[in-house]
Structure 1
Amino acid sequence: MNDPFLPVECLGIVAFAVSGALLAIRKGMDLFGVNVLGLFTAVGGGLLRDLMLGITPPQMLRDPTFALIAIATSTVLFALLYFYRRDPSPKAKALYRQFLLYTDAVGLGIFTASGVETAMRAYPEGSPFLMLFVALMTGTGGGILRDIMAGETPGVLVRHIYAMAALSGACVYLLLYGALTGVEATLVCAAVVVAIRGLASHFRWNFPSIRPPKPPEGQQPL
């Protein structure tokens, strides 16, 4: 990334590290587990992006700055919650869910834009499908790894228009490319993603799904 983009990408690293660390803490993981989940959430999407584009070794292995930021963020968050433990009130639980939603959305938006820009620099003549697919995997890859490692169904498959928010942000970035600076386009992309995720959560927008009927009492589910 260009230097002007660095602070924005650092913000995305912190946001994703917080979302990963919070989930690890909710799952009762120790300090090591919290750091691992925070790290992979923060850098997992960029790792997948670089591997798909043939950028080897991946950026996170050539420059550990982002990995160190993710670990530091996870450690600080763990320490704060470790020394300030008490039974959360319903209001605190609701605030936690909102905080997790929006930190994840900020990271999703920033890394979606990062995926588009990196793909455009690596393959300037690449198709829009390439740009959008790389953007989607960059934005959602860290969250997918986080959820799998935490023993949950990846949110991208079930949660409030998650992938479509990333794709919408990527389309906005492509439309603004050249008209705005990379940083400005990234911030607009992130704002679009956060807005869509927030609205989807508030209004409970989801794609249709088929839920199997509950089995009769005493019968094992299929």
Structure 2
Amino acid sequence: MNIQLIAEIMGTVAFAISGAMLAIERKMDLFGIVFLGIVTAAGGGFIRDMTLGIVPPAMFSSPMVLPLAILSSLAVCALVAWLYKGSDEELHGERFQWILNFTDAIGLGLFTVAGANTAIDSGYGDYHAFVIFLGMLTGVGGGMFRDVLAGIMPAVLRKHVYACASLVGAICYLGLLCAMPRGYAMFTGAMIVVVIRLLASHYKWNIPRVM
């Protein structure tokens, strides 16, 4: 199993979990929870594939994306129902929010490097700015769809160093390709995104605002 496929699988599961958890927090029904899980898991890849002209996108051509997203979302429903037993107060607790942020950070990191890698494999490796941009777009795309559908301002516009973490990870991945095999570069780039996101969330790092 190649590293790109592993990143896609793990990223799909992580983002589906974060989407389903946000849907539960926003008091959506079962269909809404699964739908938001799918959109979060597949949204970034959909934008990436449409940008590259890959038709149909992976969410429809891959035999794993939709089943993984659905199963992950349903698993979250069952686990939350068992752990919290309908207690709304617990859904806003630190543990619930930490898991949501952690899975979101994992998905962001993995899809960032997967998006950049897909751009390289599609023949755009010499266009460094495009590779970096597509990596970032793939990383933040699913979260943007998720937040809009959940009725909140997208994290890319307001959350602690969200898009910037993806941008740094894409740049690092591209630079690391000159020094190490692609698999190690993808892993390192993804972990850089995850570490930045978790540190930013913990220490409340923010991009400066005008007002």
Q: Which residue of 1 aligns with 2:29?
A: 30
Determine which structure has the larger helix proportion and give its number.
Answer: 2
Q: Which amino acid aligns with 2:9?
A: C
Structure with larger Rg: 1
State the secondary structure of the residue aligned to 1:123.
Answer: helix
SS in 2 for 1:20: helix
Q: TM-score, normalised by structure 2?
A: 0.92
Q: Unaligned regions of 5+ residues in structure 2, if any?
A: none
**What pairs up with 1:18-167 in 2 under 5 angstroms?**
18-84=17-83, 85-87=85-87, 93-167=93-167
Q: How many residues align?
A: 210
Inter-partner Cα distance in structure 1 for 2:62 and 2:125: 27
CA 11–140 in structure 1, closer or farther in 2 if over 3 Å, else same: same
- Bigger mean CA offset, 19-28 vs 55-64: 55-64
Name the aligned partner's letter for residue 80 of structure 2.
L
SS of residue paired to 2:93: helix
Identity %: 42
CA contact (8 A) 1:8 1:183 kept: no
Instruction: Report how far residue 58 of structure 1 moved.
Output: 1.0
Give RMSD over aligned pairs: 1.9
Measured against aligned partners, the alpha-carbon deviations of 1:18-38 in whole angstroms (never above 9, x if no partner) come to 000000000111111001000
Residue pair 2:20, 2:33 contacting (<8 A) in 1 also? yes
Aligned equivalents of 2:98, 2:182: Cα separation in 1: 28
> Secondary structure of 2:8's match?
helix
Moved more, 7-16 or 24-33: 7-16
Range with bigger deviation, 135-144 or 88-97: 88-97
- Alpha carbons 2:144, 2:154 under 8 Å: kept: yes
Q: TM-score, normalised by structure 1?
A: 0.88
